[in-house]
Structure 1
Amino acid sequence: MDHSGGQTPVDHRDQETLRAHVARELARSRQRSTLLTDAVDEDDLVRQHSRLMSPLVWDYAHIANQEELWLVRDVGGREPVRSDIDEIYDAFKHPRSNRPQLPLLGPSETRRYVGEVRDKVLDVLDRSTFEGSRLVDNAFAFGMIVQHEQQHDETMLATHQLRSGPPVLHAPPPPRAEGLALPAEVLVPGGGFVMGTSTEPWALDNERPHHEVWVDAFLIDTTPVTCGAYLEFVGAGGYTDPRWWTEAGWAHRQAAELVAPAFWDRVGGVWLRTRFGVVEPIPEDEPVVHVSFHEAQAYATWAGRRLPTEAEWEKAARFDPATGRSLRYPWGDEDPTPERANLGQRHLRPAPVGAYPAGASPTGVHQLIGDVWEWTSSDFHGYPGFTAFPYKEYSEVFFGADYKVLRGGSFGSDQAAVRATFRNWDYPIRRQIFAGFRCARDVRPGEFD
């Protein structure tokens, strides 16, 4: 069995190749941040559109502050650009609900700060050798900052979904499904597989180290649960019948008065959704999005199924029965392409199920990367042998039963921050994130004898 956990996507022996790759990723991430902040006026930038989210201007300055801390000061050994604002943009010192009351940099000052930090970072990049410590080996710190910016870009995209007013973001529709006759579920064989990675150069601490995990045979949905299927649950009284909900889930459903996924409204007997300012009919062939863990779990129970564990999800996404290898992505070790996955807010919505046959896993599971984050039944914990790096606040402080693991990324995730080992987590009540799910079930006795 291959224990590599994935191949290195960048040749670390070629310094100039790596330097050029980092520069492209930094520029690509900044282009997206600029798009998300330039799309609205200054009033929108400083407004808090939901207590669940920061003002967009906070996210933008926070991105630059993290870049300054890690790349300008730590890797580069340079003097601070703005040490006076470190505490303001420390995410652990100020909850999102309180950030509008902080003395934040205004939009113009934020843009100047963002530009000044990036100029210094590019100078540090030109002088870096990418070796000598774990922080700089294979440009890890630069990769960490690229991923951090892309993660905040997805957060800012979620803020755009929560803002009111006419649409300000635009994108072409995703590709249509090719009419393939996909089975409802596929069998993933039992046995051990390598979970996590020890070699992916930009993998974050919670993805490490690789380790062998035994997973019994199970069946998993070929595609994420669609809006059409979820409408059946709603129409069958799924939100009014406590039989399908856990005690915690039912209590939250009642307290929050949930009746359907977030951003769905029933108007004149027809369900509509609001998507980035556009009100439209529910697209029944798209994966359902903006559902909490509790809603996903209730649907699965109603359907006579369950949510997959995190290990089951990763085995379905990575394991190749023909070779016994764990792949970097469902389709292999190559980076994502537009033909394989719906990423990077390219389409501003999930694609119809079956739209990415080139992205299927060896066992025939589709759309595991992109479209919607997928809730799993697992709590967020470190792997055996976990070591916090480079700071405990990235992962370790979140370990425990309060958070559920999500996998796979969404249409708002970027390829730099998504791979088959990448782990996301959130509270089980959260719905503003671009989350959906697929179901799994155990193999019945004698089913495949």
Structure 2
Amino acid sequence: MTVTDTATLVEDLAATRQRTLDLVAHLPTADLERQIAPIMSPLVWDLGHIAAYEDLWLAHRHAGLDLLRPDLAALYDAFETPRAVRGDLEILGHADALEYLDAVRDRTLAAVERRGADPVLHEMVLRHELQHTETMRQAMAIAGLLPAGEPRLPGSGPARPADAWLSVPAGTHALGASDDRFAYDNERPLHAVDVPAFSIARRPVTNATWLRFVEGGGYVRREWWSAEGWAWKEEYDITRHEGVADGAADAPVCHVSWFEAEALARWRGARLPTEAEWEKAAGRLDGVGLVWEWTASTFGGYPGFRPHPYREYSEVFFGDRYRVLRGGSWATAPRVATTTFRNWDLPERRQIFAGVRLARDPLSPEEPS
């Protein structure tokens, strides 16, 4: 979905903002203003950042207005203030952050009435706020502060052996987003890639499967881990996965790092799918959108990539450090979780709502399944 008319834009802005406010409505100010973990922002920082981002793009750059609070620009710039230091900064308190959100929104609505909607900038700002509410949920999950009923990770029932794997023949796939809808710069340009034949699991890995991995020596068997993954596990004394035993046995495992996902894949005699494989198969997979799914792919630009509308959204993260995730999670707004959307994070991160879907190369005729 892409905003093209002002009436729809105004409705969508209001609905998105209400979604943000409802998410934290049950929390006391003290929980909103404290830093829950070094890798997460105080929740109130996210609120101020949402306001500053909207003011920058919709009031300042789209409508040509001066920034409402230029003194806050660096404070709420994600590159100027890394997450680890945000709890030590003099950021806006809860009441002031809400006031800032309201004041910026008044400017946005006035600008929309005067200048109309920009199909790229307004959609980008809407999705930016939706993405931040998922990030806020990550912090809330760490602290046990999620609203009642969350997380929403239902079981999917027992899988029949015949349904376990989807065979995908070799062929060309048009990877990325077309020009007829909103997409981020890293999803473009649409380009053809040759994808060899492969098989992919129809469902994400479940808690029950993860428990078997653990009980079978998953965190002590060196042969299943990469050198980097084993070093991470040893340095941080990673010996188990919190929460798996408490979840439904047939629900997808969640909060899995890329290192752990890769190790489990080796244990199963499988591997992680590439993002081209994932995207090619996505329309026929079960459980997409319950947990983000790690891929084997590092995050980089597609051939012919051009940054838009600003370099810092994608390009500064390109390289071998980050791995791509696909599909979305229970906390991802459907507007964001398109088939071509590329999420990315460091391989050691566990705070994201990420799980695992396995892939493998075709079996030889004499090889048992």
Please, what TM-score do these two structures have when normalized by structure 1?
0.78
TM-superposition CA deviations, 1:237-264 (whole Å, max 9, x none): 1101101000001111111111222x33
TM-superposition CA deviations, 1:196-237 (whole Å, max 9, x none): 013243201000110001000100000000111111000101
- Counterpart contact for 1:380–1:400, Cα < 8 Å: yes
- Cα deviation for residue 418 of structure 1 reads 1.2
- Cα deviation for residue 20 of structure 1 reads 2.8
TM-superposition CA deviations, 1:89-146 (whole Å, max 9, x none): 010011111011111011111100000111111222223345xxxxx3xx11001001
Report the Cα distance in structure 2 between the residues aligned to 1:105 and 1:306, rounded to whole angstroms.
Answer: 45
Q: Does 1:205 align with 2:185?
A: yes
Q: Does 1:284 align with 2:249?
A: yes
Q: Does 1:93 align with 2:73?
A: no
1:145-294 correspondence runs (5 A):
145-164=125-144, 168-170=147-149, 177=156, 181=160, 183-261=163-241, 263-264=242-243, 272=245, 281-294=246-259
Q: 1:296 aligns with which of 261, 271, 277?
A: 261
Q: 1:90 to 1:53 in 2, by over 3 A?
A: same
1:429-448 correspondence runs (5 A):
429-446=348-365
Q: 1:447 to 1:189 in 2, by over 3 A?
A: farther
Name structure 2 gaps, 5 residues minimum. none
Report the Cα distance in structure 2 between the residues aligned to 1:171 and 1:432, rounded to whole angstroms.
Answer: 15
1:19-418 correspondence runs (5 A):
19-130=6-117, 136=118, 139-164=119-144, 168-170=147-149, 177=156, 181=160, 183-261=163-241, 263-264=242-243, 272=245, 281-317=246-282, 330=283, 361=284, 365-368=285-288, 370-418=289-337
Report the Cα distance in structure 1 between the residues aligned to 2:152 and 2:24, rounded to whole angstroms.
Answer: 22
Report the Cα distance in structure 2 between the residues aligned to 1:310 and 1:245, rounded to whole angstroms.
Answer: 21
Which structure's residues are more often helix, by fraction? 2
Q: 1:378 to 1:447 in 2, by over 3 A?
A: farther
- Cα deviation for residue 366 of structure 1 reads 1.1
Report the residue type matching 2:98 in the other structure: R
Q: 1:432 to 1:172 in 2, by over 3 A?
A: closer
2:231 alignment partner, SS class = helix
Report the Cα distance in structure 2 between the residues aligned to 1:178 and 1:255, rounded to whole angstroms.
Answer: 37
2:60 alignment partner, SS class = helix
- Cα deviation for residue 432 of structure 1 reads 0.5
Report the Cα distance in structure 1 between the residues aligned to 2:180 and 2:75, rounded to whole angstroms.
Answer: 33
Alignment RMSD? 2.0
1:203 alignment partner, SS class = coil
- Counterpart contact for 1:71–1:142, Cα < 8 Å: yes
Q: Which residue of the partner structure matches residue 4 of structure 1?
A: none
- Counterpart contact for 1:215–1:311, Cα < 8 Å: yes
2:163 alignment partner, SS class = coil
Give % identity.
43
Report the Cα distance in structure 2 between the residues aligned to 1:295 and 1:179, rounded to whole angstroms.
Answer: 24
- Counterpart contact for 1:209–1:384, Cα < 8 Å: yes
Q: Does 1:425 align with 2:349?
A: no
Report the residue type matching 2:215 in the other structure: G
Q: 1:171 to 1:309 in 2, by over 3 A?
A: closer
- Cα deviation for residue 179 of structure 1 reads 6.9
- Counterpart contact for 1:218–1:440, Cα < 8 Å: yes
- Cα deviation for residue 32 of structure 1 reads 1.8
Report the residue type matching 1:76 in the other structure: A
Report the Cα distance in structure 1 between the residues aligned to 2:253 and 2:361, rounded to whole angstroms.
Answer: 23
- Counterpart contact for 2:153–2:330, Cα < 8 Å: no
2:15 alignment partner, SS class = helix
- Counterpart contact for 1:146–1:416, Cα < 8 Å: no
Name structure 1 gaps, 5 residues minimum. 1-8, 131-135, 265-270, 273-280, 318-329, 331-360
Q: 1:109 to 1:291 in 2, by over 3 A?
A: same
- Counterpart contact for 2:155–2:251, Cα < 8 Å: no
Please, what TM-score do these two structures have when normalized by structure 2?
0.94
Report the residue type matching 1:49 in the other structure: I
Report the Cα distance in structure 2 between the residues aligned to 1:83 and 1:169, rounded to whole angstroms.
Answer: 38
1:401 alignment partner, SS class = strand
1:430 alignment partner, SS class = coil
Report the Cα distance in structure 2 between the residues aligned to 1:235 and 1:39, rounded to whole angstroms.
Answer: 38
- Cα deviation for residue 306 of structure 1 reads 0.4
- Counterpart contact for 2:55–2:67, Cα < 8 Å: yes
How many residues are matched?
366
Report the residue type matching 2:61 in the other structure: D
- Counterpart contact for 2:299–2:319, Cα < 8 Å: yes
- Counterpart contact for 1:230–1:288, Cα < 8 Å: yes
